[in-house]
Homo-oligomer: A and B are copies of this chain.
């Protein structure tokens, strides 16, 4: 039996130490874009996406330190997407993880630029992976995969569809399509990158499918927590989706059916992997769907 809680704590501490080191190296002076980058990178959060990279590294028997640039890259890319999504022109959120959002702290211009710089920095990081014992071909595959997951066919499309869906009735299929882009694409990339670095396409496919179901389960739980969660524990306001008239699983099918759907995706996800090697990935999945934070 793997100690998931211990693994989560150990990996989170390591990831935060990596981030703190990297931020210190950026010399984040007052008024610089690095100051705004550092603010959002160090604002806490679950660090789930870099944890997915490390868990997939475990599955592939790759050392954590080898995939460090990839773990940082996915967290930087995720942080960029949060900063831009929070902007007044988008979701107009004042709080993120219980703290003022980037544009509230630094103004809209700096928030846009901090997001741009974080997105770009993700690719700077990936470009160093060949220095850590991976082939250049593997590192280049990681670049292609992360870029595809982030762009017009991934994260960006999800956000466009999400904005378009506000105050409109959409089907459960349309909602799933949004979440597959908005959450699933990056989850899949996090899990696929370690096998891609090893040029193991079969494992990349299996881990991607696992990530797809994980991402959907995770997003449905997010929707449920927005209805029934405790805003203090979550560090963000609840009930906001209903206020925005957003399409969510609880609204479309009810909380109980949404919970059932979560369990179905958990089952599907587990079947994608070799159970003997998947202890941490299974544990992470269970933990993420049972979270109240």
Within 8 A of B (CB), among A57-114: 80, 84, 87, 89-90, 107-110, 112-113
Any B CB within 8 A of the CB of A156: yes
Given A109-B89, A116-B119, decide whether A124 and B151 contact each other with a Cβ distance below 8 A. Answer: yes
Q: How far is the CB of A163 from chain B (nearest CB, A)?
A: 6
Q: Does A144 interact with chain B (Cβ within 8 Å)?
A: yes
Q: Which residues of B contact A80 (CB under 8 A)?
A: 116
**Pairs across A and B, CB under 8 Å, 14 listed:** A33-B160, A80-B116, A84-B112, A84-B113, A89-B112, A113-B159, A113-B160, A115-B116, A117-B156, A119-B120, A123-B146, A127-B141, A127-B147, A140-B140
- Contacting residues of chain A (132-146) with chain B, CB-CB under 8 angstroms: 135-137, 139-141, 143-144, 146
Q: Tell me the complex Cα distance, A144–B69, Å.
A: 13
Partner of A126, one of B112, B130, B143, B160: B143
Also in contact, A89 and B108, with CB within 8 A (given A32-B160, A143-B143, A147-B124): yes
Q: Evaluate contact between A120 and B137: CB separation under 8 angstroms.
A: no
Instruction: Assess the B140–A120 pair: CB atoms within 8 A.
Output: no
Contact with B along A140-174 (1 / 0, CB 8 A): 11011011101110001101100110000000000
Q: For the complex, is A128 an interface residue (Cβ under 8 Å from B)? A: yes
Q: Is the CB of A243 closer than 8 A to any CB of chain B? A: no
A34: Cβ under 8 A from any B Cβ: yes
Chain A interface size band reads 35 or more
**Which single member of B26, B107, B123, B156 contacts A143 (CB below 8 Å)?**
B123
State in angstroms the CA–CA spacing of A152 and B144 once bound together. 21
Quick one: closest B residue to A129, CB to CB?
B140
Interchain nearest-CB distance for A166 vs B (Å) = 11
Contact B163 A120 (CB under 8 A): no
Q: Using Cβ atoms and an 8 Å threshold, which residues of chain B touch A117? A: 151-152, 156
The minimal Cβ–Cβ distance linking A96 to chain B, given in whole angstroms, is 17
* Alpha-carbon distance A240/B164, docked complex (angstroms): 35
